[in-house]
Structure 1
Amino acid sequence: MYLHVEELINEIQIDEPDPAAANALQEGLGGQFGEMRTMMQYLFQSMNFRGDPSSKPYKDLLQGIGTEEISHVELIGTTIARLLDGSPDYHGKKKDPVDEPGAKGATPLKIALDTSNIHHYLVAAQGALPVDAAGNPWSGSYVYNSGNLVLDLLYNLMLESTGRLQKCRIYEMTANKAARSTIAYLIVRDQAHENAYAKALESLGVNWGPLLPIPKTNAEQFPEVKKLLDLGLQSVQYTFNPEQTSQAAKLYRGASPSNDGTELSTAIMPEGVPITIAPERREEFSPGLDPELLALIQATAEVELIAADEAGSGSSS
């Protein structure tokens, strides 16, 4: 069972809309090595996990990372939506003279025809989609769950390493602060998960030596990434278990396999940041609650409040 605390796991910085950056981020969401893949892969591995009680730390580790990946899907999807929200007014670089949509006869959604992914406007009303950057739908065939613990852990390490590599590439594609704040956070958390699977494999006899981290991206050169690395975010793994019954700490401890001089540790869950609701997009006819519907909702709410008050006074008497 999962609880939603209605907070984002990391703050998204405010910046101008950027539909091209939004489309690049689609690869990190719905691509073969994106957050939808990691979420589904780890949760299926944890649900299908078999073994005696002594193997519970491995199941708990998979469960904890899979649960965190749900928050990553929420974060990157929300970031894509914010990069798209209001993008019909996007002018590209501020120095470029571009007519506002609607000016001189231009249509409100003309930008959809020649910028980024047309489906962001045609299908999703300026929101994220479960697709990659080329528009290919996310596929359940991406999920790897062999039933063999060692194979699954090796595959998971490869998945985190490739995802981190791709996010470093996406970071280099855009200077948008909103996009980079999310990309940087996911780069660092991918390294934390890489450490988790590497440490689990160490417990099964693997000796990594100087091999990790994979790939050696030198991501600390990115200012947003370095800030998070200095906080040690690459060396902590969340369990999302308020009852503190997770045994993942039996694996996620000791010197980091990344050879960065840090020690691994676990925590229940990070503090989040408030989630705000995006404004209506009239040019998309979405969500479009007209005055009549709003009046009906308000009238219904008032009737329900009166009924609740009457029920309360009747029970107290």
Structure 2
Amino acid sequence: MFYHRKDEFLYPVRVSGPDPKFASMLVEQLAGQNGELAAGMQYIIQGLKCKNPKIKDLLLDIGTEELNHLEMVGHMIGLLAGEQVSTASPEEFSFQLLGGGGPLWINSLGSPFSSTYVDAVGDIAADLQSNIAAEFRAKAVYERLYRQAKDPAVQDFIKFLISREEAHANLFRQALDEVQGQGVLKDFVDTGYSRQYYDLSQPAQYGQYT
């Protein structure tokens, strides 16, 4: 059961002033491929089908936290957008025109959110691996946004989100350690073909993995 607290965020969301251009970039982490909506939907749907009670709880906890992040990012987008729709620059105009500068289920290019962003194959090991990668991808995008941000308050907020991506990746790694030998990891690399390296890109210059 979900409840919404209107008067509480996990971390302060503040801006020094409007910055519609950065708002149109930050919307990528609202509903883009590596954004908060995709992460929340991914972990919650995995949690609903997970048979391991401990990992199910982890997935639903982190999925719920991602919805908190979604709300905070959406709130910051609204603060950054400001009110001056008529003065938007060309690169900001579509974002301002479609949503008045407020959050929409689109990415920074204006493409709508897609359920294809959600990875949930139903194998506990494969899903946890996917989740670790998802957290790293989100961290990479937030780090790029951090470098583009000019407002110290916005940078501070993004640093918090980067820290939480790291925390989630670490938690998913711990969960993955607990399911070694399960799912797709069962009988992993158990044939001669599983251990062969096909050196098909010639000439070979840098050695081989085994």
The answer to whether TM tops 0.5 is yes
Q: What CA distance in whole angstroms lies between the structure 2 residues aligned with 1:196 and 1:20?
A: 34
Q: What CA distance in whole angstroms lies between the structure 1 residues aligned with 2:29 and 2:55?
A: 26
Contact kept? 2:15, 2:151, Cα under 8 Å: no
Q: What CA distance in whole angstroms lies between the structure 1 residues aligned with 2:80 and 2:42?
A: 27
What is residue 195 of structure 1 aligned with on the other side? 170
Amino acid at match of 1:2: F
Structure 1 residues 2 and 145, CA gap change in structure 2 (3 angstroms): same
Amino acid at match of 1:66: G
Determine which structure has the larger strand proportion and give its number.
Answer: 1
TM superposition shift of 1:10:
1.0
Q: Which of structure 1's runs of 4+ aligned residues deviate more than 6 A?
A: none
Report how many residues are paired: 180
Choose from 158, 164, 171 the match for 1:183: 158
Structure 1 residues 48 and 117, CA gap change in structure 2 (3 angstroms): farther
Amino acid at match of 1:43: I
Contact kept? 2:20, 2:101, Cα under 8 Å: no
What is residue 30 of structure 2 aligned with on the other side? 29
What is residue 81 of structure 1 aligned with on the other side? 78
What whole-Å deviation, never above 9, does each CA across 1:98-127 have from its counterpart, x for those lacking one?
Answer: xxxxxxxxxxx4323x24432332221220
Contact kept? 2:14, 2:76, Cα under 8 Å: no
Amino acid at match of 2:145: I
Q: What CA distance in whole angstroms lies between the structure 2 residues aligned with 1:30 and 1:57?
A: 28
TM superposition shift of 1:18:
0.4
What is residue 97 of structure 2 aligned with on the other side? 122
Q: What CA distance in whole angstroms lies between the structure 1 residues aligned with 2:127 and 2:13?
A: 32
Contact kept? 1:13, 1:177, Cα under 8 Å: no
TM superposition shift of 1:183:
1.3
Structure 1 residues 178 and 131, CA gap change in structure 2 (3 angstroms): farther
What is residue 139 of structure 1 aligned with on the other side? 114
Q: Which runs of 5+ in 2 are unaligned?
A: 182-210
TM superposition shift of 1:22:
0.5
Amino acid at match of 1:37: A
What whole-Å deviation, never above 9, does each CA across 1:180-220 have from its counterpart, x for those lacking one?
Answer: 232111100000000110111112239xxxxxxxxxxxxxx
Amino acid at match of 2:21: A
The alignment's TM-score, normalised by the length of structure 1, stands at 0.54
What is residue 3 of structure 2 aligned with on the other side? 3
What is residue 15 of structure 1 aligned with on the other side? 16
Map of 1:90-109 to 2, 5 A cutoff? 109=85
Determine which structure has the larger helix proportion and give its number.
Answer: 2
Are 2:69 and 1:72 equivalent residues in the alignment?
Answer: yes
Are 2:57 and 1:60 equivalent residues in the alignment?
Answer: yes
TM superposition shift of 1:24:
1.3
What is residue 191 of structure 2 aligned with on the other side? none
Map of 1:209-220 to 2, 5 A cutoff? none
Amino acid at match of 1:5: R
Q: What CA distance in whole angstroms lies between the structure 1 residues aligned with 2:91 and 2:69?
A: 23
Q: Secondary structure at the match of 1:110?
A: helix
Contact kept? 1:83, 1:178, Cα under 8 Å: no
Larger radius of gyration: 1
Give the fraction of aligned pairs with identical amino acids, expressed as a percent.
32
Are 2:166 and 1:169 equivalent residues in the alignment?
Answer: no
